[in-house]
A and B are shown apart, each in its own frame.
Chain A
Amino acid sequence: MSITATVFESLKRVSENVTRVYQSGIAVGLNQAGEVVKNEFWDDFTDSGTRTNYGYAFRHWGCEYIRPTRKIIPTDNQSGCNTFFKNTKLKKVEAAYFDFSQKGRGTNSQQGYYYTFYGCSALEEVEDIGMQADYGYSAAFSNCPELHTIAKIRCDENTGFTETLDYATALENVTFEGVIGKNLNVRWSKKLSKDSITNIVSCLSDTASGKTLTLSKTAVNNAFTDAEWTALADTKKNWTVSLL
């Protein structure tokens, strides 16, 4: 792309109320003297694409979107720890900019998705950024009161869900992929859709014992007839299903 084209793109983005050009990930920016300069922030931040550990990387950032010029591809298993913790303005985490599919699986909770998006109080949507089944999602999406869509939570029989969706009061759409083998509590999500509830129940392990799924009574009553819900719940009689 020519310098002219990149400057045009920069100004176009500015006109879209993206006020922090360097954080929006535009490769060419304007310095304080108004001169066109190469924006080296993302090159430095990613060690020119060689950085492997993104644990705490975006903790307490203050921008609405994080759009690096280089795709963030963590490999270190610590990379899910506090990664976007308390980004209070962050609105969306976009798949075009993040790929966690190569992150190593953790062997303890802090090496899983630990408080990953905790306290992102303006966060509305997390696209499928490739998070794979991991040790757990401890408080990963906790205290995100505007979060309405989580495209994908991959899990297996051993994945933990301690406080994963605590206070996710706006959650409507979430898709689990894999097997849910441990207690899951989604009681705060009164707007959870029928498809999402059906998906969650369908992912419950067929062999787990002594486990509990907790759902919002309001969400279930709004989504299902009594007969529909009873039939769905009965597909997983090895699970206690609690409505609160």
Chain B
Amino acid sequence: MRRILFANEGKVLTNGEIYGKVIYLAESVDESNFYEITEQEYDQIMLEEDRGGGDYA
């Protein structure tokens, strides 16, 4: 049976690469690597990852 992880209210689950509030784990993924961060922390991480590039001179 596929393992499903659920984040608590206001939180996001992550293992540093995958982010989600509900995560249906692939058989090859180790659930013990997941931890919770706040939604604000998640938003900040996404902001920092957003390159916004492509506008070449």
* Chain B: minimal CB distance from A42 (Å): 25
Q: Which of A209, A214, A233 contacts B28 (CB 8 A)?
A: A209
User: How many B residues touch A, CB cutoff 8 Å?
Assistant: 20
Interface string of B7-28 (1 = CB under 8 A from A): 0000010000111111111111
User: In the bound complex, how far is the Cα of B16 from the Cα of A223, in angstroms?
Assistant: 29
User: In the bound complex, how far is the Cα of B52 from the Cα of A118, in angstroms?
Assistant: 10
User: In the bound complex, how far is the Cα of B19 from the Cα of A240, in angstroms?
Assistant: 11
- Which residues in B have their C-beta under 8 angstroms from that of A214? 18-20
Which residues 38-57 in B have Cβ within 8 Å of A in the complex? 50-51, 54-56
Residues of A with Cβ closer than 8 Å to B? 82, 85-86, 114-115, 118-119, 139, 163, 166, 209-212, 214, 217, 233-234, 237-244
Please name 12 further chain A to chain B contacts, defined as beta carbons within 8 Å, in addition to the given A209-B26, A212-B26, A242-B22, sorted by A numbering: A85-B54, A115-B54, A119-B54, A163-B51, A166-B50, A209-B28, A233-B24, A238-B28, A240-B29, A242-B20, A243-B21, A243-B22
